[in-house]
Structure 1
Amino acid sequence: MTPSPFVISIQSQVVFGHVGNSAALFPMQAAGLQVAAIPTVIYSNTPDYPTLRGRALPPDFFADLLQGARERDLLTRADYIVTGYIGSLEVAEMVADFVAEAKAVNPTLTYLCDPVLGDSGPGLYVPQPIAEVMRKRLLPMADIATPNPFELGWLTGRQIATVQDVEAARRDLDIRDDAHLIATGCILDTTQPGQIESIICGPHTDSAPSRHPTAHLPCALPGTGDLFSGLIVAGLARGQSLGEAVETAQSLTSRALAHAQALGAGEVVLSEADFRQALLSLGRTP
């Protein structure tokens, strides 16, 4: 029997709600993937509530978890590594070392770097030294990078207003020549009214970026990007092309957002029946 695709997912975790691994873990598992979830921070909830408990993992504790992953031989077993929000500089450096080690011992794995730095409303919401680790160490190792327009603009010093701006940012970004950039949540000068787009820029300069529009729902909820990245990995692991995986991720993320909006929830909700059924169907893809 062929083993299920294996993912190491290194990002935040919350007790209540769905952000970081608390958003990405369930969809990947429901699609039939094995996931080793390593938290970078553990909080009681997202920062949008009046109180926030918990903290970034102490460096020695986080290092111990990584060592346990090594002892279980997860680096060579992994088909994918995903990284997201990181809450301390020491942990960021250890994540970069771990990804570099994994890529060295297992060069066939795919690394998706979601550089969770900030957004157009709050701006940069990690300390700049952490953002610099993402810029200088994590992104150069990525096979797939999924910044939003604010993050892409911060990383490259460019205003992201056109498809040409995304192409230029792909060239300016310090990622490998064969890596793919997915600029998520874009509203560009030629985006149709009522829509939002993901723009995929591939490694070949002679190929035009592919545009993937979807309905723009009037809500911005914590966990959306984490869910989206997890769904991209689920699609890829189930044999979809990158474009197909982005389309699947957009469709299912929109479904989760619409359900949350109907419930009046303040963050992504993953319990809607059709959403869960779609994940199970994805897991049955040969």
Structure 2
Amino acid sequence: MMPPLVISIQSQVVFGHVGNSAAVFPMQAAGLEVAAIPTVLFSNQPAYPTLRGAPLPPDLFADLLRGAWERGLPQRAAWLMTGYIGSVEVGHLVADFVARAKAANPDLRYLCDPVMGDHGPGLYVPAELAQVIRDGLLPLADLTTPNSFELGHLAGRAISGMADLQAAAAGLHLAPGATLIATGCMLDDSPADHLESVILGSGGMTRHPTRRLAVALPGTGDLFAGLIVAGLGKGRSLSQAVDVAQDLTSVALARAGLIGASEVVLSDPDFRAALLTL
């Protein structure tokens, strides 16, 4: 029996762990097959003193998508996930690909991680690309994993309490039956020194607090989304997958803080061992 196939469309770097370079390994280590399609190819994440590479030209990206169709990947994939996109033109190509893939494979589930900003840097993609994500990708999503800044930007309101989360979820124009996982939330009633992931969907609402670490690094959301897909692909419930993703992301962040890394690291022995038991 072949393992579940995941198509992962997001950034890729030569050095470090962000985008596909953070999300692919956990899914593969958990036993999933992954087809990774890059939206950008960089030497490293942008916080370093130098940055080489570039977003993929739209014609090259479209050619890679064409190759995915030629191999029959959308028709047999169990999951499709998208993260950092890099350009408006590629954003439109991604939206078209997701729509066609879901039409060709009704069992395909799509996780949209709307990577566009955070509380520190603010919005770090063009506003037009954020609009493509909001209007072109989110309505196709079965799951979406915005951080609290991204959710606030998409919904046009600050997120400070559960009422804000519920109103924001209602305003995202998600497809019927879609589920929102709001990540990195510090709500007015969150436990002290904790962040929360909050699941809001047709099955109700659940809150998942985790201790807040004194480290915030690139790649965190990419790793978290990959771990959710890994958990779901191995038969965990959504709540279980979120709990596992939070625990293992915390392990990766703690290791990064210990060694002074500039992004999440995937080398912690406990982290790697846990992936084999999903």
Give 5+ residue unaligned stretches, structure 2. none
Q: Equivalent residue of 2:227, what SS?
A: helix
Aligned to 1:107: 106
Question: 1-side partners of 2:119 and 2:270: how far apart?
Answer: 31
Question: 2-side partners of 1:90 and 1:265: how far apart?
Answer: 33
Question: 1-side partners of 2:207 and 2:11: how far apart?
Answer: 29
The question of 1:266 aligning with 2:262 is answered: yes
**What code does the residue aligned with 2:83 have?**
G
The question of 1:248 aligning with 2:247 is answered: no
Aligned to 2:187: 188
Aligned to 2:211: 215
Aligned to 1:14: 13
So what's the TM-score if we normalise by structure 2?
0.99
The question of 1:160 aligning with 2:159 is answered: yes
Count of matched residue pairs: 278
Aligned to 2:4: 5
**What code does the residue aligned with 1:23 have?**
A
**How much does 1:88 deviate?**
0.9
Question: 2-side partners of 1:166 and 1:3: how far apart?
Answer: 38
**How much does 1:158 deviate?**
1.1
Question: 1-side partners of 2:168 and 2:212: how far apart?
Answer: 23
**How much does 1:261 deviate?**
0.8
**What code does the residue aligned with 1:216 have?**
R
String of CA shifts for 1:190-219, please: whole Å, max 9, x gaps: 011111100000125xx3x20000110011
**How much does 1:276 deviate?**
0.4
String of CA shifts for 1:54-109, please: whole Å, max 9, x gaps: 10001111011000000000011100000000111111100000000000000111
**What code does the residue aligned with 2:208 have?**
H
Question: 1-side partners of 2:21 and 2:260: how far apart?
Answer: 20
Question: 2-side partners of 1:76 and 1:157: how far apart?
Answer: 36
Question: 2-side partners of 1:171 and 1:93: how far apart?
Answer: 24
Question: 2-side partners of 1:122 and 1:31: how far apart?
Answer: 32
Question: 2-side partners of 1:96 and 1:202: how far apart?
Answer: 22
Question: 2-side partners of 1:238 and 1:87: how far apart?
Answer: 30
**What code does the residue aligned with 2:226 have?**
G
**What code does the residue aligned with 1:45 have?**
N
Post-superposition, which runs of at least 4 consecutive aligned residues in structure 1 deviate over 3 A?
Answer: none
String of CA shifts for 1:121-161, please: whole Å, max 9, x gaps: 11110011111110001000000010011110110111100
Question: 2-side partners of 1:117 and 1:203: how far apart?
Answer: 26
Aligned to 1:239: 235
Question: 2-side partners of 1:52 and 1:216: how far apart?
Answer: 30
Question: 2-side partners of 1:264 and 1:68: how far apart?
Answer: 39
**What code does the residue aligned with 1:123 have?**
G
Question: 1-side partners of 2:155 and 2:193: how far apart?
Answer: 27
Question: 1-side partners of 2:201 and 2:67: how far apart?
Answer: 35
**What code does the residue aligned with 1:279 have?**
L
Identity %: 64
**What code does the residue aligned with 1:215 have?**
R
Question: 2-side partners of 1:53 and 1:27: how far apart?
Answer: 26
**How much does 1:188 deviate?**
0.5
**How much does 1:226 deviate?**
0.1
Question: 2-side partners of 1:148 and 1:216: how far apart?
Answer: 14
Write the mapping of 1:1-286 to structure 2, written as runs, cut at 5 A. 2-204=1-203, 207=204, 209-282=205-278
Give 5+ residue unaligned stretches, structure 1. none
Question: 1-side partners of 2:227 and 2:21: how far apart?
Answer: 13
Q: Equivalent residue of 2:180, what SS?
A: strand
Question: 1-side partners of 2:114 and 2:145: how far apart?
Answer: 7
**How much does 1:177 deviate?**
2.1
String of CA shifts for 1:149-199, please: whole Å, max 9, x gaps: 111011011110001111111111110120000000000000111111000
Q: Equivalent residue of 1:281, what SS?
A: coil
Question: 2-side partners of 1:258 and 1:233: how far apart?
Answer: 22
